[in-house]
Structure 1
Amino acid sequence: MRKNIILLAAMILCAGILKAQKPENILAAVGTPPNPKVQVSWNRYNDYAAITDICKRLAAAHPNLVKIESMGKSFQGKDLWVVTITDTKVGNADKKPAMYIDGNIHSNEIQGSEFALYTAWYLAEMYASGNKSIMSLLADKTFYIAPTINPDARDNFIHQANTAHSPRTGLIPIDNDRDGTTNEDGFDDLDGDGHIVMMRRKSATGRFKVDPTDNRRMILVGAEEKGEYELLGSEGNDNDGDGFVNEDGEGAYDPNRDWGWNWQPNYIQGGAYKYPFSLPENRAIVDFVMKHPNIAAAQSYHNNGGMILRGPGAIEDVDTYNALDIRVYDALGKKGEEMLPGYKYLVVYKDLYSVFGGELDWFYGGRGIYTFSNELWTGYSMYNKTDGEDSQNQLYTFDKDLLMKDAFVDWHAYKHPLYGDIEIGGFKKTYTRLHPGFLLESDAHRNMAFSVYHAYNTPKLSVGEIEVKDIGGGLTQVTTIVNNERMIPTHSSQDVKNNIEIPDIISLSGGTVVAGMIVTNRDMNFTVEQKLDPTNIKVQNIPGNSFVTVRWLVKGGSKFTVNVNSKKGGLASKSN
């Protein structure tokens, strides 16, 4: 008996361990890791524990590529994981141009974590499979990926009964109804089915009726029509006896109104907390970014609406985004529209609404980092057609046609202590804002590819020609070109304008430097001399898809080495 129990336990354990398949049994689909070491199903959502497990498994399976560390603690004490991905056999991770990616700043916008995590998984597994493009990318670049930056509220959304829109914020308690008690009158799962849906009751004065073409749907009656029902809002009770339902739920401070760029207090920008970076999660991110000046590009994942957003968040900041940087944004954003069908490249303040104290504005305005915020999921994906006037109808038809009505809780009777005989029903929290499972991996892949394209276009520096010329008097003139082979400059215009990051340093060794200069016109021999420390020439910027020319006058030597050190552009070196 004991032997059988041990055998059964061993079988269960083995069944629970996902192993790579045998290569001889697989025909690899193009663009996908053919036999990943870390098996992950990308058609579902992971809680904090599962995210932690996937990160740790990636690090264990790919020790030369993946490192996991905590950049701080959440309000409730959870580690804020950052996964660093680069080819550690080729250069130091923190000396390469880097892409920072995070997701789930808003707790109900959970697919951002899956998209960020998919990116980490894909890069590691495709490198391991021998994909030359990814191997080349990770030789040159570093990715810092923070799958969830609001883990407390993420777990609340996943494990507690919520609507698709709650909780949006963190879980720091707040007294929304100012009765002296926090969080006492949030949603109640009246029937215990795990879903917070809608309440309705029959009423002679109601303004809604059942759609005759779909009995799940409520529609507003016309001015001369008689209604059947009144809608009572989301599922819940009046727990504090003040006559109102669901007015004091969990959390209310918005982590995307907490950043130290054009921050405004709560009475101006709803959701702001005490002061910039007063939320511990955001403070940890800021500390991480400040310690990693090699971050040249960033991506934050939100939902929903199918948008590739750039700042400014408010019109007051419109002059911050200058023409040279907008050219880079436009080139990247327009490419994103090609890669992400149904998504539109937009400007926050102009195409949406004003945001003060937003993450992407701090990354760009405060650090000079080209940053996008993608709003994931679009109704276009339902039937691959533009989402128009039938968008609400599409939710019902798509659920019926492709989801087998799995997204809707059918209306059913309930005896409410305040409202009496009512009915409960409606869409589950995992619908309307979140991807259905079968579309989750597809959109994760496309957004990953857009981030990879962005990262690829961070600076790539190389030393080109080194011209050595004897000019007499014991002096040698050494002239070199430093190329930037990618679209993004080593310093954004915002960076240069505000001296955010130190200049790039181009150095010469092999002789005694007596003069150093930047060549502004080689044909006309126009130069600007750097009189202090001429060996190490400071260059304010190496433009994208362009170059700079520098020159030294040297005593002695014939074999010279040029070294380039750029915080966001990385390192480069060459000898004549």
Structure 2
Amino acid sequence: MKQLANYSITLFLTALISLTGCITTVAQSGDFSDYDFRYHTYDETVTMLNELAEEYPQLVELYSIGKTATGQREMWMIEITNKDTGPASQKPGAYFDGNQHDNEVMGGEVATFLPYYFLSQYGEDEEITRLLDSRVLYILPLANPDGAEAYITGEVDWDPMDIDNADRLYGPGENGDDGPEDLDGDGEILKMRVENPDGDWKTYDADPRIMVRREEGDSTGTFYDLYDEGIDNDDDGEINNDPPHTRFITNRNYPGHWSSDDGQYRGAGDYPLDELNSRNIVEFIVHRPNIAMIESYHTTSGVHLRPFSARPTEDLPRKDLQDYTAILGMGTEITTYPQASIYHEFTTIDPDLTPEEQPGTRHGVFVDWGYLHHGIFSTTTELWTMEDFVNEVGWGEIPRDKPLFAIPGRYRRPDVQAKVLQWLDEHEGDPKLSGQKYVDWKTYEHPSLGEVELGGFTKYWLRNPPPGPYFKKVAVDQAEFAKRRGLLTPLVKIRDVEVERKGQNTWSVRAQIVNEGYLDTSMEQARFIGRAKPVELSLDSGNSDEHSTHEFPFLRGTRGSGFESFYYGEWEVEAPAGKEVTIKLWSKKGGEDEMSVVLK
């Protein structure tokens, strides 16, 4: 039978550890000189994962979690843990993914670097060794492999109409065969501008390289039509009007806050999880209840984001908000990225409207689902930022009001882009840029439009960093934070078992247990929605029906304070001397442990 334990808690001072975390900083042991910090195709990424699986068989399992939406590729998951210390299912898990959006390819590259980072330093870096011995990492480098491949290579290798939901994605009678292409063979798909007195675009006064929307009433000056570089592939008289759909995960198709209460505002798709890629991810996580932490890498803005996306901060339970603030603060120390609420700092809020009425909120977001529905510590990191470059040349009179990090509110603004161009002008030819830059407008003879101009930012600059040193810094910083946060997951342990003889064949067995991790064995949100499971402490003497299982609502984490909370369970055992009994400890998010003792 099970009973709620009348447990006592002893606070024990084990060490004075910095409030910023219970992890002692270990110097970086590798320079990663043999890692190629550039953008990889799907085949290159899969080859790297297979090579790691072959090189580290005792630490790695590599498997597909399903086909992608196009059916062309597998979604490869790499599972990393020391198999000698127990199966993955019995350890606390941390999940990482990248490239949920097709063009946010740096997210995929960080998630691809993580396995190499952890495996290449196992046995050398004390923290990484401890992490892989005690926890399991689930890493999905490419959540949208088809979209990432199209962005990196500029090519689409699937039939647009031969995919799930083709009619919804393309519309009846459309087949996605008129997308942009590299006309002049320079390896970049830039912007294309064509003079037109009725055009919707004009040059920016402060820097004519930048294009801005024509304002109502503008009647003097030169106006343009603006396109992505390309031609009219389907001869319908329009350029790039039917590009192939590549956003097979929109990060708006998850069940969390998918719709406002009245249904006026909602996420992507006809219903939550009608996108195959997002469904594969959700099914994977649901079937691994040991996952205690989720991180999804996106770009751009250089910020660590926490839930909610569609609700204000005051809706988060107080203790969970404190944990988010503390842990993402550790991330700031490592990556320099600030932390922010998606709703408050990443969204334009109308103060006169309720949260339900806000038209700018994001619905159906992955981290909302992970935290809201399952009580998992879930975050998103937006990688890469122009902030440092503009800081270097100075913001001048540019206002820096909220939303500070939202892309439409910052990096698409012409005044900010003018500052970025100033920085690029001052660093022209710098090898750290790997040839990435702003291409000044140049004339080109278009097959149907006649003389046009091509120009704009190259692929790896505004949204994703250039290959090389900038790329490496982003990847290594994020890997360092991934290491630290992985060690913050709950970890339950049996510290001691005492046996006291009460009679000739009667014994008292008392176990002391603890949660060594930073976080509690369940978040407050998980307890609030009923997703948390009590921690179970049981005794097996060969006839387990004789003994009760003690249940603890949750075990407190250390919070980096240096204090541990001790919990106890006690049993009366009838058995002869010399009998071995086993104490077993189970936690949904904190793993499992057991200890055997001989009655004597």
TM-score in same-fold range (> 0.5): yes
Matched, 1:40 2:11: no
The residue number in structure 1 matching 2:109 is 114
- State the 1:203 CA deviation: 6.2
- Within the candidate set 123, 137, 141, 2:118 is matched to 123
State whether residues 249 and 278 of structure 2, in contact with CA within 8 Å, keep that contact through their aligned partners in structure 1. Answer: no
The residue aligned with 2:28 is 31
Partner of 1:569: 590
338, 343, 351: which is aligned to 2:333?
338
Tell me how far apart the structure 1 counterparts of residues 213 and 309 of structure 2 sit (CA, whole Å): 35
Amino acid at match of 2:343: Y
State the partner residue of 1:508.
Answer: 539
Q: Which amino acid aligns with 2:572?
A: L
| Cα distance in 1 for residues equivalent to 2:83 and 2:68 | 29
Match of 1:356 among 338, 354, 363: 363
Q: 1:391 aligns with which of 416, 419, 427?
A: 416
* Pairing 1:218-229 to 2, within 5 Å after superposition: 227-229=221-223
Larger deviation: 80-89 or 398-407? Answer: 398-407
* Structure 1 counterpart SS, 2:369: helix
The equivalent position to 1:553 in structure 2, one of 572, 597, 600, is 572
> How far apart are the structure 2 equivalents of 1:562 and 1:84?
28
Between the aligned partners of 1:278 and 1:175, the Cα distance in structure 2 is 11
How far is 1:208 from its partner?
A: 3.9
> Does residue 1:306 correspond to 2:294, yes or no?
no
1:47 CA displacement: 1.1
- 2:83 is paired with a residue of what secondary structure? coil
Which residue does the alignment assign to 1:424? 454
2:17 is matched with which residue? none
Shift of 1:63: 1.5
Do 1:325 and 1:493's aligned partners in 2 also have CA atoms closer than 8 Å? yes
- 545-554 vs 197-206, which deviates more? 197-206
TM-score by length of 2: 0.76
Shift of 1:185: 4.0
- Counterpart residue type for residue 483 of structure 1: V
Does the Cα contact within 8 Å between 1:102 and 1:149 map onto a contact in 2?
yes
In the alignment, structure 1 segments of 5+ residues that lack a partner are 1-28, 514-531
- C-alpha deviation, 1:116, in angstroms: 0.9
- What secondary structure does 1:68 align onto? strand
Q: Deviation of residue 563 (structure 1)?
A: 1.8
Distance 1:378 1:387 in 2: 15
Amino acid at match of 2:94: M
- Counterpart in the other structure of 2:492: 461
- SS of residue matched to 1:183: coil
Cα distance, 1:317 vs structure 2: 9.5
2:89 aligns with one of 73, 85, 94 = 94
| Deviation for aligned residue 1:210 | 7.2
Task: Please state if 1:285 is matched with 2:281.
Answer: yes
For 1:511 and 1:406, locate their aligned partners in 2 and report how far apart those are by CA, in whole Å: 68
Deviations 1:171-194 (A, max 9, x none): 964577857313244334443444
Q: Report whether the alignment pairs 1:199 with 2:192.
A: yes
What secondary structure sits across from 2:122 in the alignment? Answer: helix
Amino acid in structure 1 at the alignment position of 2:567: V
Paired residues of 1:210 and 1:218 also in contact (CA < 8 A)? yes
Shift of 1:70: 0.8
Q: Find the aligned partners of 1:291 and 1:77 in 2 and give their Cα distance.
A: 25
Question: Corresponding residue for 1:371?
Answer: 378
What is the one-letter code of the residue matched to 2:585? V
- In the other structure, the counterpart of 1:440 is 471
| Deviation sequence 1:57-98 (CA, Å, 0-9, x none) | 111111222221111110233111111111122221221111
AA aligned to 1:50 is E
1:132 matched to 2:126 = yes
When residues 96 and 346 of structure 1 are mapped into structure 2, their CA distance, relative to the original with a 3 A threshold, is: same
**In 2: Cα distance, 1:399 partner to 1:32 partner:** 33
State the 1:281 CA deviation. 1.5
Alpha carbons of structure 1 residues 46 and 268: separation in structure 2 relative to 1, 3 Å: farther
CA contact (8 A) 1:510 1:557 kept: no
Alignment partner, residue 273 of structure 1 = 269
Q: Does the alignment pair 1:537 with 2:550? A: yes
Counterpart residue identity of residue 563, structure 1:
K
- Structure with the bigger RCO (C-alpha within 8 Å, sep 6+) is 2
**Match for 1:183 among 176, 185, 188?**
176
8 A Cα contact 2:267 2:363, kept in partner: no
Structure 2, gaps ≥5 residues long: 1-25, 348-360, 399-414, 430-434, 559-564
Which residue in the other structure is 1:146 paired with?
140
Between the aligned partners of 1:369 and 1:386, the Cα distance in structure 2 is 41
Q: Return the alpha-carbon distance in structure 1 between the equivalents of residues 259 and 476 of structure 2.
A: 36
Give the number of equivalent residue pairs.
517
Q: 1:538 to 1:422 in 2, by over 3 A?
A: same
> Shift of residue 554 of structure 1?
3.3
- Cα distance in 2 between the residues matched to 1:157 and 1:106: 10
Aligned partner of 1:31: which letter?
Q
Q: Aligned pair 1:58/2:52, yes or no?
A: yes
Alignment of 1:459-538 (within 5 A): 459-469=490-500, 476-510=507-541, 534-538=547-551
Partner Cα separation in structure 1 for residue 169 and residue 48 of structure 2 = 37
Q: Secondary structure at the match of 2:251?
A: helix
**1:227-268 deviation line (CA, Å, top 9, x unaligned):** 345352433455667775444322266431111222239985
Task: Give, in angstroms, the shift of residue 269 of structure 1.
Answer: 5.2
Q: Name the CA distance, whole Å, in 2 between partners of 1:159 and 1:267.
A: 38
For 2:393 and 2:551, locate their aligned partners in 1 and report how far apart those are by CA, in whole Å: 50
* Distance in 2 separating the partners of 1:176 and 1:79: 21
Query: Kindly, what percent of the aligned residue pairs are identical?
Result: 30
CA distance in 2, matches of 1:367, 1:351: 24
The change in CA–CA distance for 1:260 and 1:384 in structure 2 (over 3 A counts) is same
1:413 aligns to what?
A: 443
Q: Does 1:103 align with 2:98?
A: yes
Aligned counterparts of 1:317 and 1:375: Cα–Cα separation in 2: 19
Deviation at 1:427, TM superposition (A): 1.0
3-state secondary structure, aligned to 1:255: coil
SS of equivalent residue, structure 2 residue 514: strand
1:431-459: CA deviations, max 9, x gaps?
A: 20001222111111111111211110111
Answer yes or no: is the 8 Å Cα contact 1:253–1:273 preserved in 2.
no
Residues 142-151 or 71-80, more deviating:
71-80
Across the aligned residues of Structure 1 and Structure 2, the Cα RMSD in angstroms comes to 3.6
C-alpha displacement of 1:311:
1.0
CA–CA separation in structure 2 for the residues paired with 1:548 and 1:454: 25
Q: Distance in 2 between matches of 1:79 and 1:511?
A: 45
